[in-house]
Amino acid sequence: MNWTKRYPGWAMFAAMIGLLVFLWGMAVPLSAAPAPIGPAADQFVEGARITVGLTLIAGSVGVVIGVLAGLGKLSRFGPLRWLCDSYVWLIRGTPLLLQILFVWLAFPLLMPEGIELSDFACAAIALSLNVGAYNTECVRAGILAVPHGQVEAARALGLTPIQTFMDVVLPQSMRVALPALANNLASLVKDSSLAYAISVVELTMVGYRVQAESYQPIPVFITVAAIYLILTTAFTTLTAALEAQLDVGQKR
């Protein structure tokens, strides 16, 4: 952790490269492993890629949703505020599994004819909406934590409201919101496993299938757990480094 604080740029770089190398190269040690892991190496790799894909997509879309809805919640325009409040209330008050099933089963009925969503897309949409609602609260708190004098200074210099938000308010609010956003991202790695319910073959589903074929749950689930731990560690390092990067100018 100290290392991430001292060299945030390098830590971010290392975590990202590490993640890529891992996704690329994990097949090599896995296929060298004895049965039941070795023969199923490709499935594990594919499952890990799906899990990381879901996490990255829902993670990024979720941050955008969080910023927009967080701003919406602070809007002076009543209906917009109401809409964002309702969204957060709805998502936080219902189980993620229900949301995933809803997108999978109910969206096709609501969508116009001819548009078909893949199972993966359904999972990505549900996870984005879910993490977005949790991010909304963090972003809102972050924005409220920015002292009003910062906005006044920017406006007095002639910056437009959008420039003031992008150059001053957003970066400063992120410094406050980031630990909580990072938490949500780490949860997302694990929450994405619920996509198995709509037959997305992510990492947990792979483990389930492989142990069902081999009747050896212990080595299979240990392998799955190890892969999850490597993924969550990479994401945590990434966000901790980003935090250290943004922290610049706050302490020291």
Partner 1 sequence: MNGELRPIIEARRVDKRFGAFHALKDVSATFYEGQVTAIVGPSGSGKSTFLRTLNRLEMHDSGEIVVDGIVLNDNLKNLDAIRREVGMVFQSFNLFSHLTILRNVSLAPMRVRKMRREDAESKAMSLLERVGLKNQAAKYPVQLSGGQQQRVAIARALAMDPKVLLFDEPTSALDPEMVNEVLAVMRELAYSGITMLVVTHEMGFAREVADRIIFFDEGVILEDTTPERFFANPEHDRAKSFLSQVRHGY
Find the binder of partner 1 among 154, 182, 185, 234 (CB under 8 A). Answer: 154
Find the binder of partner 1 among 150, 213, 222, 225 (CB under 8 A). Answer: 150
Q: Is the peptide bond before 36 cis (omega within 30 degrees of 0)?
A: yes
Which of 11-19, 82-90, 168-176, 219-227 is the region at the interface with partner 1 (rule: CB under 8 A)?
168-176
Q: CA nearest 134: which of 171, 182, 98?
A: 182
Q: CA nearest 181: which of 95, 96, 85, 65?
A: 65
Which of 63-71, 104-112, 160-168, 190-198 is the region at the interface with partner 1 (rule: CB under 8 A)?
160-168
Residues 185-244 that bind partner 1 (CB under 8 A): none
Go through 99-128 and write b for each residue having 16 or more CB atoms within 10 A of its CB, e for each that does not.
bbbebbeeeeeeeeeeeeeeebebbbbbbb
**Contact predicate 152/202, CB 8 Å:** no
Closer to partner 1 by Cβ: residue 93 or 147: 147
Q: CA nearest 128: which of 200, 187, 197, 59?
A: 59
Closer to partner 1 by Cβ: residue 25 or 161: 161
Assigned token pair, 34? 């004895």
Find the binder of partner 1 among 28, 29, 42, 152 (CB under 8 A). Answer: 152
Closer to partner 1 by Cβ: residue 131 or 154: 154
Residues 130-149 that bind partner 1 (CB under 8 A): 147, 149
The site for partner 1 (CB under 8 A) is made up of 147, 149-150, 152-160, 163, 167-168, 171-172, 175, 246, 248-252
